[in-house]
C-alpha cells in the first residue's frame, strides 16, 4: 500500500505588515519540523514536494533533510491567495476562513475563491502524482488548500478538517482508497479519522 501524506507547515514567525506568503519559520517551527520528520520516518517517499512559500518550503527542507531526500518547491501548491487582507486575530481569522470554505464559489475572503484555490492545488497534486507514479508521496503545504483538497476526496466538511490541522500536522490517506483519511498531529494529540468525522455538519 502506498500513501499520500499532506503536511501542514510548522509555526511561522508572524511579521505584521508582511504578507503571510512571505513569512519564514519561527525557531519553534524549525524545531517542531525536525521533530515531526521523525514521525514521518516510517513512510518511504522518493522525494518531498512543497509550496514555494517560505514557511512551507522551510518545513519541507527540514523534513526532507531528516529523511535523506530532495525537496522540490511548486508555486501552485501555495495557500489560498489572501496577501492583500490585513492581519486578523485568531477568532476573526477562523471566521474568515470558515466563510471562504462554506461559500466556495463566492469571493468572500482574499483574491481567489475556495473553488479557484482547490482547482489550482488539485492540478498541482495531479502533476505530482503523475511524476512520481507508484509509492508514497509527501507534500508540505497549507491548511486551507489541504482542507479543500481532502474534503473533495473524502466528503468531510472542509472547515472541520481545517480546525483539526495544527502547526505542524498531516493528513495521511491510502492512494488506493483516498476516501478515507487520518489526521496526525503532535504525539500527544490523538489521530482523527475523517472517513466519518464532519459529514453530518457538511454544508
For residue 104, is it within any domain?
no
**Residue 99 falls inside a structural domain:** no
Q: Are strands 71-74 and 192-193 parallel, antiparallel or unpaired?
A: unpaired
Report yes or no on 140 lying in a domain.
yes
- From first to last of the 203 residues of the chain, give the pLDDT tens digit: 899 999 999 999 999 999 999 999 999 999 999 999 999 999 999 999 999 999 999 999 999 999 999 999 999 999 999 999 999 989 999 999 999 999 999 999 999 999 999 999 999 999 999 999 999 999 999 999 999 999 999 999 999 999 999 999 999 999 999 888 999 986 544 445 554 333 222 22
| pTM score, whole prediction | 0.92
Q: Is residue 112 part of a domain?
A: no
Q: At what angle do helices 90-102 and 143-154 cross, to 10 degrees?
A: 40
What is the span of the domain harbouring residue 135? 3-81+121-201
Domain count, the chain: 1
The answer to whether position 96 is within a domain reads no
Q: Is residue 48 part of a domain?
A: yes
CATH code of residue 59: 3.40.50.1240
Amino acid at each position: 500500500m502506498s500513501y499520500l501524506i499532506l503536511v501542514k507547515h510548522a509555526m511561522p514567525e508572524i511579521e505584521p505588515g508582511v504578507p503571510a506568503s512571505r513569512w519564514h519559520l519561527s525557531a519553534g517551527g524549525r524545531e517542531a519540523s525536525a521533530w515531526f520528520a521523525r514521525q514521518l520516518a516510517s513512510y518511504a517517499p522518493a522525494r518531498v514536494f512543497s509550496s514555494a512559500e517560505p514557511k512551507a518550503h522551510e518545513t519541507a527542507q527540514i523534513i526532507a533533510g531528516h529523511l535523506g531526500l530532495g525537496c522540490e518547491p511548486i508555486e501552485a501548491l501555495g495557500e489560498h491567495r489572501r496577501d492583500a487582507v490585513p492581519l486578523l486575530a485568531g477568532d476573526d481569522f477562523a471566521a474568515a476562513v470558515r466563510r471562504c470554505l462554506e461559500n466556495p464559489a463566492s469571493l468572500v475572503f482574499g483574491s481567489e475563491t475556495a473553488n479557484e484555490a482547490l482547482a489550482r492545488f488539485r492540478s498541482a497534486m495531479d502533476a505530482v502524482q503523475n511524476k512520481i507514479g507508484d509509492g508514497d508521496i509527501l507534500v508540505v503545504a497549507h491548511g486551507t488548500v489541504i482542507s479543500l483538497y481532502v474534503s473533495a476526496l473524502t466528503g468531510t466538511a472542509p472547515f472541520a478538517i481545517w480546525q483539526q490541522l495544527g502547526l505542524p500536522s498531516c493528513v495521511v490517506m491510502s492512494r488506493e482508497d483516498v476516501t478515507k483519511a487520518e489526521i496526525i498531529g503532535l504525539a500527544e494529540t490523538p489521530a482523527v479519522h475523517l472517513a466519518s468525522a464532519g459529514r453530518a455538519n457538511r454544508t
